[in-house]
Amino acid sequence: METLKIFLAGRWCEGRGEEMSSVFPADGTVNARLRAANVDDVNDAVAAAEKAWRAPTWRGLVPHQRAEILHRVSDLITEQVESLAQLQTRDNGKPLAETRGLVMSAAATARYFAAACEVLEGELPPQRNPEVMTLSQYQPLGVIAAITPWNSPIASEMQKVAPALAAGNAVVLKPAEATPLMALKLAELFEQAGLPAGLLSVLPGKGSVIGEALARHPLVKKISFTGGTSTGRHLAHVAAEKLIPTSLELGGKSPTIVLEDADLEQAARGICYGIFSSAGQACIAGSRLFVHRSLYQPLLVRLCELTAGLRIGNPLQPGIHLGPLINDKHRQSVADYVALAQQEGGRILIGGEVPADPRLAAGSYYLPTIIEGLCNRARTCQEEIFGPVLVAMPFDDEEQLIAQANDSVYGLAAGIWTRDFPRAMALAGLLEVGTLWINTYKTFSISTPFGGYKQSGLGREKGLHGIQAYMQQKSLYLSLNNQPNRWSD
């Protein structure tokens, strides 16, 4: 067990809030303790950030000089992949195979936005007046409030911090209360890379205290949030009152669709990965399964076979498919949804309980679960469970399928399994989601924008949209005519 400090404007210091802990979900042991930040820490961090981003030592840098820092951070991450992956596994319980991928994703994100800030161009719009030239530039917003979730800390945090810094801003980062370790480690890496003091602060603590104070601070010029829809809606109201932009990546209840011509084995394995990797604790988890009736029974049989073979256990051990859920409270929420599904008429095909293995008794584990017998309007099919629970439903025709798939307040992602690509592309145009996979699931590229429709969020992360989201556009008009304006004659 370590005793940690917060990172406030380039200083490692004790927070002025309550004591908090990082707990290993696999056995309940304490990873580290620290004192959380408080509102005074927020005010100090924002004041320092405002001063730092305006200073010539940052604002005066040309893009490739800012990029050098991000390249150094990427190199530092790459050199420490194994230790960083183990730290993230301790923090949130994901298996090492997954956390290694998340760490490498963070390194790639830093490299991508280093390159993006070097090549990001302004615009020279077509001239409408031969005597006036117009230019369009992109400039930083100022101080950014970045608020991140517990399910993929280092990847989510880098997806906000890297583009915001590349764009010339300063960032105050508020990690999830349950998972402060990776954000503090990230601050250490940026410090080692030579980021000027004040441009990054990491303030662990309660969202209702730190996140709220950050969002409402008058010097904060953008809120970037990944998390639950209810919190995102509240932050959108705060941002609207301040007339500042937001990026909100929120919840999902993603449909996965299997057409009658799909490769059954490919679909079954992809669906299994799409819902049960990360123990279902992913906003993009393919939690609603729509299968053409002709394939429904054989696909469910194969899915249950695959699910029964998944290895559940200590996420630090090799070969584990599912680690624990983040904590006992969240596991109880998942169990309550499974009980609700049964009350609504659902039948559990596999799982639906805590593992019987006594070696897992100290952790917050839950078996991967498949349920059938529900209609799409059931609460279990409409509300985000954020756990390893899949609800399977047959369909008969595409009109019925599209109506049900879109019958959700969410619109984050979807998957289609078919050999007929023209048909898949036609369906893709009708599904109300921000990301759609065809014959794959949960594959990503940092160069491709990501975000949701409807209550799954606002704005986009990743890609060139991801850096422009942390900038504001300015238009310049240059007179090419030295003659005085004769209006006042």
pLDDT (tens digit per residue) in 277-331 = 999 999 999 999 999 999 999 999 999 999 999 999 999 999 999 999 999 999 9
At 23 the three-state DSSP class reads: strand
Does residue 1 surpass a pLDDT of 80? no
Q: Quote the strand ranges of 227-277, DSSP E.
A: 246-249, 255-258
Averaged pLDDT for residues 30-48: 98
Report the run of H or E that residue 107 belongs to, with start and end: helix 96-119
Answer yes or no: 265 catalytic: no
Q: How far is CA 81 from the centre of its chain?
A: 20
The amino acid that residue 290 corresponds to is F
Structure letter (DSSP) for residue 419: S
Q: What is the pLDDT of residue 401?
A: 97
- What are the backbone angles phi and psi of residue 294, rounded to the nearest 5°? -70, -25
Percent pLDDT > 70 in the chain is 100
- What are the backbone angles phi and psi of residue 410, rounded to the nearest 5°? -95, 165
Q: What is the pLDDT of residue 482?
A: 86
Question: Could you tell me if residue 385 is left (phi over 0), alpha (psi between -120 and 50 degrees) or otherwise beta?
Answer: alpha
Average pLDDT, the chain: 97
Q: What is the pLDDT of residue 32?
A: 96
Q: Could you tell me the CA-to-CA distances from 484 to 31, 132, 481, 488, 489 in Å, in that order?
A: 71, 14, 8, 10, 11
Q: What is the pLDDT of residue 225?
A: 98
Does residue 192 surpass a pLDDT of 90? yes
pLDDT category at 2 given cuts 50, 70, 90 is confident
Averaged pLDDT for residues 55-71: 95
Q: Could you tell me the CA-to-CA distances from 328 to 317, 335, 350, 473 in Å, in that order?
A: 21, 10, 21, 46
Averaged pLDDT for residues 381-393: 98
Task: Report which of 47, 166, 151 is spatially closest to residue 388, judged by C-alpha positions.
Answer: 151
CA gap 148, 180 in Å, rounded:
10
Q: What is the pLDDT of residue 259?
A: 98
CA gap 462, 156 in Å, rounded:
11
CA gap 28, 362 in Å, rounded:
7
Task: Report which of 34, 41, 30 is spatially closest to residue 1, judged by C-alpha positions.
Answer: 30
- What are the backbone angles phi and psi of residue 440, rounded to the nearest 5°? -160, 175
Percent pLDDT > 90 in the chain is 98
Question: Could you tell me if residue 60 is left (phi over 0), alpha (psi between -120 and 50 degrees) or otherwise beta?
Answer: alpha
User: Catalytic one among 249, 372, 384, 461?
Assistant: 249
Averaged pLDDT for residues 23-43: 97
Contact predicate 240/217, CB 8 Å:
no
Q: What is the pLDDT of residue 442?
A: 97
pLDDT category at 334 given cuts 50, 70, 90 is very high
Q: What is the pLDDT of residue 54?
A: 97
Name the pTM for this structure.
0.96
Q: What is the pLDDT of residues 251-260, one digit of tens each?
A: 999 999 999 9
Residue with tokens 């909100």: 248
Q: Could you tell me the CA-to-CA distances from 8 to 39, 56, 80, 84, 166 in Å, in that order?
A: 12, 21, 24, 22, 20
Q: How many CB atoms lie within 10 A of CB 43?
A: 14
Structure letter (DSSP) for residue 208: I
Angle between helices 81-92 and 96-119 (to 10 degrees): 120
